[in-house]
Each structure stands twice: as structure tokens, then as C-alpha cells.
Chains A and B, each alone.
Chain A
Amino acid sequence: MNVKDQVIAIVAEQALLEPSDVTLESSPEDLGIDSLGLVEAIFAIEEAFDISVPFNANDPSESDFDISSVAKIIAGIEKLIAEQVS
């Protein structure tokens, strides 16, 4: 499974949806994921890719990690993985 599919699977599980119902444009809010659910999804992503996501639940908009859509989350994770490899 590539990064995109893995992230979609994690987000879908958190939102209690089928992966096919998770579109790249959706925001966590659109998918019905609340703040606690978001923190749990970030944890699952960190575990899955063994990375550290700079996400601050106090003020997500101030984090160095864009969570405004599934596509942005995937892009951020791909960047973190690339940084880790280099």
C-alpha cells in the first residue's frame, strides 16, 4: 500500500467510513473527525510510518503541519518521510 492509500485507510477508520468514501479534498471536519479523533489519527500515522508529526492540538492552524484536507495531510507525510530518508 502506498502512503496515500495508507493515510486514507487510517482516516477512514477514524471516521468510521469506507476508504472509498474519503476524498482527497475532504477536511477532517467534513469526515466527522473531532479534535480527539484527529489526535488519534495523527498517532496512528506516526505509528504506521515511524515519523514524528509536528502537530499541536492546542492550535492546529499554528502547527507546521497542514491538516486542512486529506491531500494536504498526505503531502505533509510524504515530505516528512523524504526528510527522514535523506
Chain B
Amino acid sequence: MKRVVITGAGTINALGFDVPATYAAMREGTCGIGPLDFQDVDRLAIKIGGQVQGYEAETYFNRQQLSLYDRFTQFTLLAARQALAQSGLEFHGELADRSGVILGNSGGGLTTQDENFRAVYEEGKNRVHPFVVPKLMNNAAASHVSMEFNLRGPTFTVSTACASSNHAMGQAYQMVRSGMAPAMITGGSEAMLCFGGVKAWEGLRVMSKKACRPFSATRNGMVQGEGAGVFVFEEYEHARARGADILAEIIGFAMSSDAADIVMPSKAGAARAISGALKDGQIAKERVSYINAHGTGTAANDKTECAAVADVFGAHADNLMISSTKSMHGHLIGGTGAVELLACLMALRDGVIAPTINYEEPDPECALDVVPNEAREAKVDVVMSNAFAFGGLNAVIALARP
């Protein structure tokens, strides 16, 4: 089996337009969540979100590109450009033929759907732009990344709700580890902050009107976010031979299905994914110092997640840190695992643990060290990132300092 390392990272999210800005915001405990700004927001009960503010698409893309790129594709391409630039990798010949793109997202081009449904249903228009389908399809982002960077190997999109990015990165990891691909571009994105995208979530009544307060006894629901996180996963010897800067090594991955309920999480399913990742990487549980939690800020997730972590780690659960950066950037749904992986890279690279902000009161059912409100300096060797999706689909990834 090959070793797999990360040699490039890119992002755009409510905390910043690139990785350094995002790290700085996470270190400061900045809240990227604020009032939503889009058409018909006044008809929503939920009016807050982690929206990417001050973004002008025309700065990055020309008119022809914009006619084909939904917001989720734009975010993905911006993050991919950063990641590829950092890695220094260029794809030609056999490397191009064997390397590909696996990205996660849940809503695809939801803004495009929303705008066009509005045009035909509300405004009574009978004609839509010819590129509606190529813009809204969930694989559009992965395809455009493959085209921009000449990646001609395995390329597809994974859609497993809130675990999409972790499942995508897990698949990319397995492909590089098995020797099938020398490098994979992976991660995910989401751009659901439009009237229909938020209205649908409102219906579930799990959204907070005020703030995302994971693990706090005062938590009252999740808050949506948007953006992208994209990484270059590369075979270790390949990266070393070209003298690439190695950001982290991926050392374990596992997935599980609760096979129980379409929305309620299961402690057993989550625990099987966490312990599965430890087993996959033959990682002694005492080596894990930090977990980036799924930590949605809902009553159900947070207590189930803490119970699963306590079950898997036993006494060591009290020694490790677990934080939810969703408190800062919101829940990016299909893109969330990708942006959250940045908190893992920051922990490994810079020795800074991103906090769980908006934390007010301890909840006895979430009695772990959730790094409340302030970032912490700590030297960590092994970190994990949890994602537990609606549909009971769990994916957990483990990383180590190179």
C-alpha cells in the first residue's frame, strides 16, 4: 500500500477567500455567520448563515465561464486553483491520464435551479437559458476542475448529504493508497444559500435563528454555510521525489451506515466509523489529540457524537480536544468536511486548535473538552475529522503530521 500525503489546499468560505485568511479567522475565533443577503430573504424564518460576503464572480471568471458555472462550481474552481498552485503539480501525459477529481456536494447548482424555477413558476416565463442543466448537475464542479487542470483519470461526484466531502476524500485516499492514481484532487463544495435552499432546511425545524452553538447547553440548532475546500492528495514517494511541501499525511479512513433512521443519528454508527478509521490506520487511540467534530449544534447530533467519541476512546476521551468549526463558518452541508479538514491541517502544521465559538454553558451530555471560545496552542501528532450525514451515512478521516 502506498502512503498518501496532502500537498495543496485551497478554500473560499465565510471566514476567508483563501487558506491563510481562514486559518487566521479560526485562530481568532471569528464568526463568519451573519444576516443572509439574497432575493426573498424576507420570506424566510431563518435569516442568518455563513454566506461568502463581498464576492464578485466577475473578478475571477469571464462572461462565457459564468454562463456555465453555478456558484458551487465557481467556489470549487477558486479553491482548486489555490490548491494546485500550492502543490506545484502540473498534469501531462501518464500523470494526467491516471489522476482525477473526486468532489462532494449535496445540492449541486441549487442557485441555478432556484432562479430558473422562479422564472418559470413565479414569473410565468416559458423559456430558460440553454445551460441550466450543465450548470446545475452535481458533477459540474468536478468536470470543470478536470477540464481546467487536464485531469483525465477517475472523476466523479459523491453526494451523501453532510458527509459528501469526507466520503469523496476517503475515496480519493483509497485510490492513491491502492496505487490506482498517483494524485487526486478532492474535497467538496456547496452553495445552497438561496431562497429555496434555506426554505427547505427551515421545514425540518432544526435551524437556529440566532447562532450556531455546538456542544453548549444553550444550543438551538444548526446554521448553514457555503463555500469550498479542495486538496491535492498525492502518493508520498511522488511528492517527495519532486520536493513538494507536505502539509499532512492521511493515515486512516472508514465509513459506516447506521441503517436505522433517515435523520436521527446513531451512536453505534458514528462509533463504528471512528473506530474503523483508527483500525484502518492501525492508530493507537492514545495518539489522537484532536477531533474536528461534526458538531452541528443540534440537540441530536452533539450528544450522540460525544457519546460515540466517549465509547471509542474510553478514558482517553477526557484527554483529547474536540471542536466544531461550524460555529464559525456554518454547516456547508456537502462541502463541510472539506473546509473542516483545514482545521485539522492547522492543528498539525501550526499547532493551533480551532475553537468552538458561541459556547455558553456546559451540557452534561457533551462533557468533553470542546475548546470553548478560544483557540489553543497544542502540539498534536494525529487528528481526526468526523462527518455524520442524514441518511445515517458516516465517514471519518484520520491525518498525521508528516
| Interface, chain A (partner B; CB < 8 A) | 16, 36, 39-40, 42-43, 46-47, 52
Contacts and interface: CB of A to CB of B under 8 A. Distances in A.
Contacts of B64: 16
B130 interface: yes
Main secondary structure of the interface of B (DSSP, over half): loop
A22 to B, nearest CB: 17
Interface in B108-141: 127, 129-131
- Among B64, B67, B130, the most chain A Cβ lie within 10 Å of the Cβ of B130
B127 A43 contact: yes
A84 to B, nearest CB: 14
A40 B130 contact: yes
Given A36-B130, A36-B131, A40-B67, 6 more contacts: A40-B129, A40-B130, A40-B131, A42-B130, A43-B127, A52-B127
Interface residues of B, number: 6
A46 B128 CA distance: 10
Contacts of B130: 36, 39-40, 42-43
Nearest to A47: B127
A42 B129 CA distance: 10
A43 B130 CA distance: 7
Contacts of A36: 130-131
A36 B135 CA distance: 13
Nearest to B68: A36
Interface in B55-90: 64, 67
B127 A46 contact: yes
Contacts of B127: 43, 46-47, 52
Nearest to A43: B130
For the complex of A and B, list the 9 residue pairs with the smallest distance between their C-beta atoms, beginning with the closest. A39-B130, A43-B130, A40-B130, A46-B127, A43-B129, A40-B67, A47-B127, A40-B131, A43-B127
Contacts of A42: 130
Nearest to A16: B64
15 contacts: A16-B64, A36-B130, A36-B131, A39-B130, A40-B67, A40-B129, A40-B130, A40-B131, A42-B130, A43-B127, A43-B129, A43-B130, A46-B127, A47-B127, A52-B127
Contacts of A16: 64
A16 B130 CA distance: 19
Contacts of A40: 67, 129-131
